């Protein structure tokens, strides 16, 4: 009697059928968990809408938190308060101080030197001020500061000392043009401004070396325009002058008269004092920069 095999290497009918279905691509993949969840919960729409609502609320809460942490837009009131606090706590430079800083690098001390009759040594005969108007070392000053001097010495802003030559003169306006023999590497020329829009009451600053002291600054206003002045000796009368009340004394001659933005509108040339003291009593005169520029050959504004 034939015994049935306990194990057989031949496939059964069921195995054969499964193999055939797999070979024909009919075996279906096992459903994913998401599909299983959707299939399981498909009959419960309320739960799905609850989940969507919770997600929406969470998103909304995040947006609200973000908006709350954003800086608020500045209002004009906020800006005004900040400016006021700055003005109360920070000491700002005055207009005169800013004008001085703008013109100072262009102001020079001018010394007229002549030999002493007894010793033959050069001694100081006059002191005045000059202003650099071209950065090649061209300087404007008063003619009376350098007239008759054997040697003219110049001292620049950075301390450099050199000699200079007179290259031009305008006696009717008491002006002289100097050329410095050496100049600083970073020499700055002053900015000149037309006097056509000046009116009495405009603030001005006179910068120079009164009695050799300086550079010194004095502030005031324009007192008048187109003034005339006759020298105490009566030898010369000058016209079309700017009258100002910023303190000026001997040594200021040839220095710049500047506006509060540091621009030159005149060259200080004289002070009025009917006494013999020759000191300032409140009336000074300056040659308009248009006249001064023409002495150098610079075209008018």
Q: Tokens 């837009």 label which residue?
A: 73
Q: Phi/psi of residue 274, each to 5°? A: -70, -10
CA dihedral of residues 209, 213, 215, 219 (deg, nearest 10) = -80
- Exactly one of 106, 126, 174, 245 is catalytic; name it: 174
Nearest CA to 127 among 210, 251, 298, 283?
251
- Each residue of 104-115: b (16+ CB within 10 Å) or e? ebbbbbbbbbee
Identify whether the C-beta of residue 162 lies closer than 8 Å to the C-beta of residue 153: yes
Residue 174 annotated in active site = yes
Residue 181 annotated in active site = no
- Exactly one of 106, 218, 223, 253 is catalytic; name it: 253
Q: Phi/psi of residue 52, each to 5°? A: -60, -45
Residue 144 annotated in active site = yes
- Exactly one of 144, 216, 218, 245 is catalytic; name it: 144
Structure tokens at 247: 């303190």
| Residues classed as catalytic | 144, 174, 253
């Amino acid at each position: 009697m034939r015994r049935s095999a306990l194990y057989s290497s031949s496939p059964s009918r069921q195995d054969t059928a499964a193999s055939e279905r797999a070979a024909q691509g009919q075996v279906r993949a096992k459903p994913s968990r998401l599909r299983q969840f959707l299939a399981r919960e498909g009959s419960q729409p309320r739960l799905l809408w609850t989940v969507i609502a919770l997600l929406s609320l969470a998103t909304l809460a995040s947006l609200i938190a973000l908006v709350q942490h954003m800086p608020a837009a500045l209002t004009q009131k906020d800006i005004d308060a900040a400016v006021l606090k700055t003005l109360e706590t920070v000491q700002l430079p005055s207009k005169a101080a800013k004008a001085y800083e703008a013109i100072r690098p262009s102001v020079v001390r001018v010394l007229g030197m002549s030999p002493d009759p007894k010793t033959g040594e050069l001694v100081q005969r006059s002191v005045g001020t000059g202003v650099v108007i071209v950065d090649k070392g061209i300087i404007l000053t008063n003619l009376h500061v350098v007239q008759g001097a054997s040697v003219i010495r110049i001292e620049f802003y950075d301390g450099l000392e050199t000699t200079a030559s007179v290259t031009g003169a305008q006696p009717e306006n008491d002006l002289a043009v100097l050329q410095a023999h050496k100049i600083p590497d970073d020499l700055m020329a002053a900015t000149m401004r037309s006097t056509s829009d000046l009116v009495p009451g405009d603030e001005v600053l006179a910068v120079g070396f009164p009695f050799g002291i300086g550079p010194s600054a004095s502030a005031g206003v324009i007192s008048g325009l187109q003034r005339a002045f006759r020298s105490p000796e009566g030898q010369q009368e000058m016209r079309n002058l700017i009258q100002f009340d910023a303190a000026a004394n001997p040594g200021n001659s040839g220095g710049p008269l500047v506006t509060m933005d540091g621009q030159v509108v005149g060259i200080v040339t004289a002070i009025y004092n009917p006494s013999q003291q020759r000191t300032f009593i409140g009336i000074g005169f300056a040659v308009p920069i248009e006249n001064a520029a023409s002495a150098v050959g610079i075209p008018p504004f």
